[in-house]
Amino acid sequence: MPDPRPKEPRSKFVSRCVPIVLKEAGTKSAAHAVAKCRGIWDQARKKRLVVNRSGAVLGNPLKVDPTRTTTLRRAFETELSKRFARIRQKVYALVVEEDAFGLKRPSKISMLGNVSSGNGAELLVHTRWAFRSDPQKILAFQTWLAAQVQADIITTTAEAAEQAYWTRYVEEGYRKGAGRAFTDTRVAQRAMADTPEELAFYEGTKEEFLRSAFGHPVAVDKVKLLAGRVYTDLKGVTEDMSVKMTRALTDGLVQGQHPTVIARRMIKDGIGFTKKRGIQSRALTIARTEIIRAHAEG
């Protein structure tokens, strides 16, 4: 039976296949030949299908992800996406819901409780920086944003970068690389493991190798250096985010824009609403490249 050619459409393959299959002894009719050819095409397609970000595609899985770290990279990307989403929510709440800059018209006043209004009710307007000058508002926002970034994204100092949340992803990438190196050098040994006992011995040797490798000072230092790279990269990304958000806030204050408009512009310019554009895209690129770098160092 014929095999489908690379990138050959199903219809063309069936047209080429049917005359050949009709000549075979087991083919009963033209409809039977068409069904057999379609089955050949479907089976060949399934064997070549690879799942990546765009869905199921034809190709070699090693060309799509030669490091086999897709799951780990996506886990790191998800972690960073959640942390940037917190910053988005906090900025919107600060500018719009709390109206920290006092930009809304005083049409609604919250009835809360500390300053008496004479009838027992208490009046409080959520405008923590409303009575400051515009330059003071900008400085106050920068200080506030730096604290939120430190709490949600950076979470550590340069000296203690190896204790940050991203270290576990870097370490796992390094471990996968070391395990892959061990496997590649012992392919013949694993291939000759016929019994479950021999296979278990091979896997035990691999685990022992990884424990020994991670106990070596050189490996520990490499993981620390890789974790430090992530800290430096994220620090640069968040500083750029702060600059763009501050610029959007300054333009909004100068032009007298509504808080909602300012907040959306700050988020769009500073972080981005999607993973494909803006600062968040850069952060996710860092997540991918650093995991691959750790795998290569392993």
Whole-prediction pTM: 0.64
Of 262, 244, 278, 224, residue with least CA distance to 94: 262
Strand partners, 9: none
At 59 the pLDDT is 54
Secondary structure string (H, E, C) spanning 133-192: CHHHHHHHHHHHHHHHHHHHHHCCCHHHHHHCCCHHHHHHHHHHHHHHHHHHHCHHHHHC
With 0-12 / 13-18 / 19 or more C-beta atoms within 10 angstroms meaning exposed / middle / buried, residue 266 is: buried
Hunting for tokens 């500073």 — which residue is that? 270
How far apart are the C-alpha atoms of 138 and 90, rounded to whole Å?
Answer: 16
Phi, psi of 90 (to 5 degrees): -70, -40
Of 4, 9, 13, 11, residue with least CA distance to 43: 4
Tokens of 209: 């190798």
Q: Among positive and negative, which fits the CA dihedral 262, 267, 272, 273?
A: negative
Tokens of 69: 């770290």
With 0-12 / 13-18 / 19 or more C-beta atoms within 10 angstroms meaning exposed / middle / buried, residue 257 is: middle
How far apart are the C-alpha atoms of 115 and 137, rounded to whole Å?
Answer: 24
Tokens of 93: 């709440």
Ramachandran sector of residue 102 (left: φ over 0; alpha: ψ -120 to 50; beta: rest):
left
Tokens of 77: 């990307």
Three-state DSSP class for residue 110 = strand
CB burial string 145-172: b at 16+ within 10 A, e below: beeebeebbbbbeeeebbebebbebbbb
Three-state DSSP class for residue 51 = strand
At 58 the pLDDT is 52
List of the chain residues with pLDDT < 70: 1, 46-67, 105-127, 181-220, 273-278, 298
At 143 the pLDDT is 94
Beta strand segments in the chain, E: 49-52, 55-58, 110-116, 122-124
Question: How do residues 153-178 score in pLDDT, each as one tens digit?
Answer: 888 787 777 778 888 888 888 777 77
